[in-house]
Amino acid sequence: MRGRTRIFPEFLAVVAAGFILYGVMLALEGPLGRSSPLFSFETWLAKAPDNLLYRLLWLLGDVSEAEFYAGVFGGVGLLAFAFIAYRLDQAGSRWRGFPISYGTGLWPWVLAASSLGLIISVFLFGGFLSGGWVPTFVPFVSVPAGVVFIYGRGWKNVFTGGILGGLVTFPIAYLTIQYLLAPFGLPPVIGAVTGMWLGAIIVFELCRFLPWMTREDAPIEGDDIPETEAGASVQESSPLNVPGTRGWFGRRVLAEFSEAQLYGNELASAGLILGTLLTWALNPLHPALGSGLLPAIILSQVLTAAIGLLLYYGGWQSNEWYPTFVPVVSVAPAAVLTYGGSMQSIIAGAVLGAIAGPPVAQAIIKRLPDHWHLFIGNTFSMAICTLIIIPILGLLPGFEVVSA
């Protein structure tokens, strides 16, 4: 209780900042929408199946799709600031923030594997975009990175993870969405993350029988580096990254926004958000699947991250990492998109997601075999919590389905 009391002022400041940003964006979106130099999501989706340039831009948008942003400059900002964070981490700078990719030094290999998986997914399955949005982004935030974390650096691991991730995850996600979710009006994110956790189980089990896949090089930075709950070795933590230190709470909320990519760094997240806001300023109907709900999505994500960190602060103190980011990329934004961005959908999705998502993920993580990456627990929690919470909200007064 004493620890939560210490961070409560920062919690209030983060929540206030979220509402201020939300108010400013609502005030600006009308004038910005009258003159939009950037193409809309509708135009993007229509041209991506047959136009090489727009397909390449779609690939770049998929870099930020896990956060429900899918904006061209959001992906650019994430990658650019992640590179800065990596260089600062390598230099041991006090400005590195939370060490990117948990201080393993694996970020370039993670990026290479994830990018390969994404390229395969977008160019092999991108033709399905002619029928509407499809989850081509799933390899970028799942199996390829997980293979690198489990098996270590090296091009054999990059190509194995990237190729298998690109081939396996999309079909599972697509079929789940088309045949299990769409008929019942359930959020597509459930199918996307199912492609991640189920695809990961298939690939990790397959890797055990591939003769070139060995774990002997997996401890990257030395045998004396501790394990975190994120399933990756970390360097000695900076005093600034100890839970409860001044500024930790706000920085951690920000870092949650890049956890889906397994970066977990506030600089990378800042680049993601700044790039997304730039995209939105150029055309409010470009990001967030052209829904016009980006202000509500960001507010819901800020709230659910802040509430989760406040509730499970003890988990962070005990484990050095806790899956509080789970509702940031699942329940909270799914509630906004499903129920039209109303304030009740923002708050209810944020609160219920923050309560349920992290402990469910942690319970699964503790039971996973050691040759499975722990993101399986995170993504399974995203799927089950969204599957339960979103329909329940529809039973309450004031929640009217706008989109699934």
Tell me, what's the pLDDT at 215? 85
Residue 226 confidence (pLDDT) above 80 = no
Strand partners, 280: none
Distant-in-sequence, close-in-space partners of 226: CB < 8 Å, separation ≥ 6: 233, 234, 320
Tell me the chain's radius of gyration from C-alpha atoms: 20
Tens-digit pLDDT profile for residues 324-361: 999 999 999 999 999 999 999 999 999 999 999 999 99
Over residues 57-104, the pLDDT tens digits come to 999 999 999 999 999 999 999 999 999 999 999 999 988 999 999 999
Mean predicted confidence (pLDDT) in 302-322: 96
* Residue 313 banded pLDDT, cuts 50, 70, 90: very high
In the prediction, which pLDDT does 229 show? 39
Confidence of residue 237 (pLDDT cuts 50, 70, 90): low
Q: Where are the domains of the chain?
A: 2-392
DSSP H helices, 235-312, are 248-255, 266-282, 294-311
Confidence of residue 230 (pLDDT cuts 50, 70, 90): very low
**Cα-based distances in Å from 331 to 62, 186, 327:** 19, 12, 5
What pLDDT shows up at residue 300?
98
- Say what the pLDDT of residue 222 is: 36
Residue 1's pLDDT is: 56
pLDDT value, residue 186: 97
Question: Could you give the dihedral angle defined by the CA atoms of residues 81, 83, 84 and 87, in that order, rounded to the nearest 10 degrees?
Answer: 160
Q: What is the mean pLDDT of residues 225-230?
A: 39
Tell me which long-range contacts 311-317 makes (C-beta under 8 A, separation of at least 24): 311/354, 311/355, 311/358, 312/358, 312/359, 313/3, 313/4, 313/7, 313/243, 314/3, 315/358, 315/362, 316/243, 316/252, 317/3, 317/243, 317/244
Tens of pLDDT, residue by residue over 104-158, are 999 999 999 999 999 999 999 999 999 999 999 999 999 999 999 999 999 999 9
**pLDDT score for 159:** 98
Indicate the average pLDDT of the chain.
Answer: 93
Residue 228 has pLDDT above 90, yes or no: no
Tens of pLDDT, residues 181-213: 999 999 999 999 999 999 999 999 999 999 999
Q: What is the reported pLDDT for 220? A: 44
State residue 217's pLDDT score: 54
The predicted pLDDT at position 30 comes to 87
Mean pLDDT for the stretch of residues 1-27: 92
- Reply yes or no on whether the pLDDT at 224 is more than 50: no
Extract the tokens encoding 358: 């992290």
pLDDT of residue 221: 41
Q: For 265-278, how does the pLDDT look when each residue is reduced to its tens digit (9 = 90+)?
A: 999 999 999 999 99
Q: Are 26 and 311 in contact (CB under 8 A)?
A: no
The confidence score (pLDDT) of residue 382 equals 98
State pLDDT tens for residues 361-398.
999 999 999 999 999 999 999 999 999 999 999 999 98
Q: How confident is the model at residue 223 (pLDDT cuts 50, 70, 90)?
A: very low
- Give me the CATH code for the 2-392 domain, please: 1.10.3430.10
- Indicate the angle between helix axes 248-255 and 2-33, nearest 10 degrees: 50
Higher pLDDT, 348 or 403: 348
Question: Which residue type occupies 132?
Answer: G
Encoded tokens for 267: 């600089």
Query: What is the percent of the chain with per-residue pLDDT over 70, rounded to a whole number?
Result: 94
